Amino acid sequence: MLRRLPIPAVAASLAAVSCAHATTAPRVVTLRDSGKTLTVRKGAQLQLHLTERLRWLPPRVRGTAVRLTRIEFIRDPGYLAWSVAARSRGTAVVTAVGYERESAQRSCDPGPCGPHLFRVTLVVR
pLDDT for res 23 = 38
Residue 11 scores a pLDDT above 60: no
Residue 80 scores a pLDDT above 90: yes
Q: Are 50 and 96 in contact (CB under 8 A)?
A: yes
Higher-confidence residue of 98 and 9: namely 98
Over residues 10-17, mean pLDDT: 50
Over residues 63-92, mean pLDDT: 95
Taking only the tens place, the pLDDT of each residue in 39-68 is: 999 999 999 999 998 999 999 999 999 999
pLDDT over 90 percentage in the chain: 62
**In sequence order, which residues have a C-beta less than 8 Å from that of residue 84 and are 6 or more positions away?**
29, 45, 46, 47, 48, 66, 67, 68, 94, 122
Mean pLDDT of the chain: 81
Domain ranges (residues) in the chain: 26-124
Banded model confidence at residue 101, pLDDT cuts 50, 70, 90: confident
Residue 24 scores a pLDDT above 60: no
pLDDT for res 39 = 93
CATH of domain 26-124: 2.60.40.2020
